[in-house]
Structures are given as structure tokens and as C-alpha cells.
Amino acid sequence: MERSISAPTGSYSIMAAMDPRLMHLEWLCFDLDNTLYPLSNGLWKVIDDRIQAYVAKVLHVPLDEARRIQKQYWRQYGTTLAGLMAEHGIEPGPYLAYVHDFDISPFMGPNPRLRALLKALPHRKLIFTNASSEHAHNVLHVLGVEDCFDYVIGVEEVGYIPKPDPRAYEQCQAKTGVIPTQSMFIDDLPENLKPAKALGMVTALVSQRKRAHFDFVDFYLTRIEDLAELFGIDLDRIAGSR
């Protein structure tokens, strides 16, 4: 289904002044963890500990050694999983099942403002995450925004190749038909935005930390809801009315 966003009517009637650098966009590509919700909610600590436990189990090493290996692979390969696969031939399926096999609902709840924002943005939307798509669906479900996305691309959908490997972006493109020059890419890790920029995407970094400047980052957001201002959306008004 074609959904044109070129006409300043319809969905854009709720918009005031949109940044002109965003006028041509048809697609919004979102990272998941620490982008759609803050990892400071404690969820990452649980995932991090489960990864550590899994590394200890499959490599038969003590927990402190497992933590060291976990972090080394994360730096070297982009994810701990990619390192375990490359160095030890570990099967990705059981790893992802174990790491994400817990109830995430104590760590987050519905975000009606995010939902209102996503519903107001007429673009096609996709999630592109280094986590599993099952984890992504769980998070989107708890946030109450699962129906706001056209595609959910987890690491298993892109051959277990994590961002920022350019091959991951190629696979994502092949799976979704996303057109890079008509897309915005939103992530909390600067290194994931670099390949996106190289493909011709507009890039936005979500970060609460004091930021460095990157020549491949077009927009800096403190939290995902800041997108509203960029697109000229009065979030207070629309979130209050839904």
C-alpha cells in the first residue's frame, strides 16, 4: 500500500513546522533497546547477567572470566553472540531463547505518548535490532506500540550479523524494501548510525549522555519523544486526546 507523505494535509494537519531536512522521508527505522525506552530501567542488567551466565555455561568458565569474554566479544564483534558464533560455533537459537527468557513487564509499561507520536507519523516504520525479534515483539507489546510498526527485523532476520556490519543493513533493506535515501535511522549507538549515513539515510542519535559531535549524525535526541518536535508535532495535545 502506498502512503504518500508529500501533501501537507491529512496526517500532517497536526503538524506545525517540520524540519525541511525531513520533508522527503517515507521511512523511519528504529533501533529498539535504549532507543524506544531507556535501558536505565534495569532491564539491561538482567539481560547482561543472563548473557554472562550463558557464556559461563557454554564455555565452561567461571562467571568473572565469562564477563571478560562477553565484553571482549561485544567490542570485537558487535554482540557477544556474534563472538560466540565466530570463535566457538555456538548455536544462536538457544542463546537468544535463554537470554530473553524472562518477564520484561516489571521493567516497563505502556507508553501512550510514544504510541500517539508513532500513530501521528505517517511514515512506514521498522524496528532493526541486534536483539532477537521475539524480544522486540515482547518490548513493543509491553510498551503498547506493537501495531505501530510495519516490520520487526531482529538479528536472526539478518543472518545473525549485527549492526554496525554493513551486511546487516543490506539484509534489512532486502527484507523490508526500505529505501535508504527516503529514510531516517534512529539509534542510541553512534557507530550504528555510520553505515546508515553511508547509505544516504538521515540519522538521529538518542542519548542522555553529554554528547560528542559526529559528522555522520544529523540530529541529537535526548529521548525518542523528541522526534515530535523535529516533525512539528504537538505531542502534549495529541497524547492528551488519545
Per CB under 5 A, the list member of 31, 157, 165, 218 interacting with Mg ion is 31
Residue 30 or 54: the one with the smaller Cβ distance to Mg ion is 30
Asked if omega into 164 is within 30° of 0 (cis), the reply is yes
Binder among 33, 157, 165, 218 for Mg ion (CB under 5 A): 33
Minimal CA–CA distance to 186: which of 126, 101, 140?
126
User: For residues 34 and 80, which CB has a smaller minimum distance to Mg ion in the complex?
Assistant: 34
Residue 34 engages Mg ion in binding (rule: CB under 5 A): yes
For position 26 contacting Mg ion by CB under 5 A, the verdict is no
List the beta strands (DSSP E) in 23-107: 27-30
The residue whose Cβ lies closest to Mg ion is 34
Write down the least CB distance from residue 189 to Mg ion, Å. 6
Nearest-CA neighbor of 178 among 30, 31, 32, 27?
Answer: 27
Q: What is the closest distance, in whole angstroms, from the C-beta atom of residue 34 to Mg ion in the complex?
A: 4
Residue 203, C-alpha cell as written in the block: 540519522
Rounded distance, CA 187 to CA 207, Å?
A: 9
Amino acid identity for residue 32 in this structure: L
**Is residue 153 near Mg ion by the rule CB under 5 A?**
no
Distance in angstroms (rounded) separating the CA atoms of residues 84 and 88: 5
Sole binder of Mg ion in the list 26, 157, 165, 188 (CB under 5 A): 188
Interacting span for Mg ion (CB under 5 A) from 59-67, 68-76, 117-125, 186-194:
186-194
The 3-state DSSP class for residue 232 equals coil
Helix/strand/coil for 231: coil
Question: Which range in 29-37, 47-55, 148-156, 217-225 contacts Mg ion by CB under 5 A?
Answer: 29-37
Positions touching Mg ion (CB under 5 A) are 31, 33-34, 188
